[in-house]
A and B are shown apart, each in its own frame.
Chain A
């Protein structure tokens, strides 16, 4: 049973769903308030969705300086699994823990609807139970979901297999290369715009998101960061 810290910022609104999804996967999940400074021996840290600080200035720009973020950064630097969902993804980009940034949707509208994403990488702590190329039905709910990186970084993301989820069929927000989620060089930090916690049971319209939480709970999932070998730009868990 993994200890999973769900960080709560002022304006987080997916924290309860995320906690419930982690518990449904068998984790010992608990809240950590953003003004705390310790993660209480967390194995996994999740930054949930929402509108931290009202999205003032830029989404995630102020939350990244919350007191707890020093411990979150340290957790990530030491190889600990760290997931950002939606606003959590925006915070991780603002904090420099993931490359790129998330900007206003290309057609300006706030989008709240299901999308289809393809699982591109299964060697992260949050995607290990998916099949490569599997297409998932998961909802998005964001106004600032257009993932942006400079062309050099975009090419590096592709070369290193760092795009974790990609929109298929329809790019809802104008994201560069249809990117819906990325991981870092250490492959322990993952950010995704869709909400897997809203699709983890048949009663919620599907369970395509459940394995995000089951993956982090799965045995050895946290070891992937050191067990991965890159062969011809493809990462293989060994």
Chain B
């Protein structure tokens, strides 16, 4: 997600469009990216650790973005 302190013009444009459609209850809209990673890992913690390294190295820009991680679908068969 773009840092809360930074201008998010995409979020603003969507916010205005939603209001124009009558969704007056909408407050601030912020837009980021949703990246789905399929990770082979022995444990949930290992998957999180590796995903965090991926975010720090490539997926997120620490100057402009914050990120959150969640593990889902644990136990899926490896391909």
Q: Using a CB-CB cutoff of 8 Å, which residues 1-40 of chain B contact chain A?
A: 2, 6-7, 9-10, 13
Q: In the complex, are the beta carbons of B61 and A100 less than 8 A apart?
A: no
Q: How far is the CB of A149 from chain B (nearest CB, A)?
A: 7
- Which residues from B are CB-within-8-Å of A105? 9
- Do A108 and B10 form a contact, CB below 8 Å, given A57-B58, A57-B59, A103-B2? yes
Residue of A nearest to B59 (CB): A57
Cβ 8 A contact of A106, one of B7, B59, B61: B7
Cβ 8 A contact of B61, one of A58, A104, A149: A58
Q: In the complex, are the beta carbons of A101 and B63 less than 8 A apart?
A: yes
Say yes or no for B49: interface residue by CB 8 A criterion.
no
Size bracket of the A interface: 20 to 34
- Which residues from B are CB-within-8-Å of A174? 7, 9
- Which residues from B are CB-within-8-Å of A74? none
Please measure, in the bound complex, the distance between the C-alpha atom of A46 and the C-alpha atom of B51, giving whole angstroms. 33
Cβ 8 A contact of A103, one of B58, B59, B64: B64
Residue of A nearest to B58 (CB): A61
- Which residues from B are CB-within-8-Å of A57? 58-59
